[in-house]
Amino acid sequence: GAGVSQSPSNKVTEKGKDVELRCDPISGHTALYWYRQSLGQGLEFLIYFQGNSAPDKSGLPSDRFSAERTGGSVSTLTIQRTQQEDSAVYLCASSLFVSSGGNEQFFGPGTRLTVL
Amino acid sequence: AQRVTQPEKLLSVFKGAPVELKCNYSYSGSPELFWYVQYSRQRLQLLLRHISRESIKGFTADLNKGETSFHLKKPFAQEEDSAMYYCALLIPFRGFNKFYFGSGTKLNVKP
């Protein structure tokens, strides 16, 4: 497919369990972002990758959250010991680095995480 | 500090009325600015970007560097415009570019 894909689309888990969310960016896109969207709220930035490195992790809400990216492609966001306040839609987006003009961020469909 | 500010969380207008969604940014250089839209049960998608100087679905946005604003406007709102709108800024960050999003404005167009 040509777009950003995320899996799973829905995840229900019990409080205290670990979850792993996956993002497949558009092929060739060097930048990858993770965001969180809580019910009725706006976008909350979590982490930004450029290639395999993360120049900006400032949005990760706690040390229970981590993310990695391998091969400059797929990224996984891991939440350890999930809490009910982690329930949200987790969005992934990718973009191509272009020095000027032509930039656009493409979003995935999101993973809806529910922590019981 | 917030790079992009959208002061209204919710904006309600009647069909046919003009609408303006406000966006202010914080950057002293030449930014790239965008408006993204998220319709119900759809993914976030690009609406328009300032460098294209385009009008999409009747919406326009003008970059005002003096006021550091990029407000989104439409002269006659339609019910199908009801959605969540995000203003985004793209600026240099550690040798690359990075997107910064505002917190979003929910537009509700009433019949």
Residue-level pLDDT at B19: 97
Of A45, A55, A95, the CB nearest to B101: A45
Q: Which residues contact B108 (CB under 8 A, 6 or more apart)?
A: B10, B11, B12, B13, B82
- Chain A residue closest in CA terms to B43: A109
Residue of B nearest to A6 (CA): B43
What pLDDT was estimated at residue A41?
76
Q: Rounded CA gap, B99 and B27, in Å?
A: 12
Q: Check if A58 contacts B (Cβ < 8 Å).
A: no
Mutate one of A33, A34, A39, A48 to test the B interface: name it (highest B CB count within 10 A): A48
pLDDT of residue B55: 84
Q: What's CA B62's distance to the chain center, in Å?
A: 10
Q: Which residues of B touch A10 (CB under 8 A)?
A: none
Contact residues for B28 (Cβ-Cβ < 8 A; gap 6+):
none
What are the structure tokens assigned to A61, written together?
């809400």
pLDDT, one tens digit for every residue, chain B (111 residues): 679 999 999 999 999 999 999 999 999 888 899 999 999 989 999 999 888 878 889 999 989 989 999 999 999 999 999 999 999 998 888 877 888 999 999 999 999
pLDDT computed for residue A61 by the predictor: 93
Quote the pLDDT of residue A1: 54
> What does the pLDDT look like over A19-75, one tens digit per residue?
999 999 999 898 999 999 987 678 899 999 988 888 888 899 999 999 999 888 999
Q: Residue B78: its pLDDT value, please? A: 97
- Which chain A residues are closer than 8 Å to B98 by Cβ? 31, 48, 55-56
User: How would residue A100 be classed by pLDDT, with cut points 50, 70 and 90?
Assistant: low
In the prediction, which pLDDT does B17 show?
A: 97
Which pLDDT does position B61 carry in this prediction? 94
Q: Give A76-87 pLDDT, tens digit per residue.
A: 999 999 999 999
**DSSP-assigned letters across all residues of B56-79:** BTTBEE--BTTTTB--EEESS--G
Rounded CA separation A61/A42 (Å): 15
pLDDT of residue A42: 81
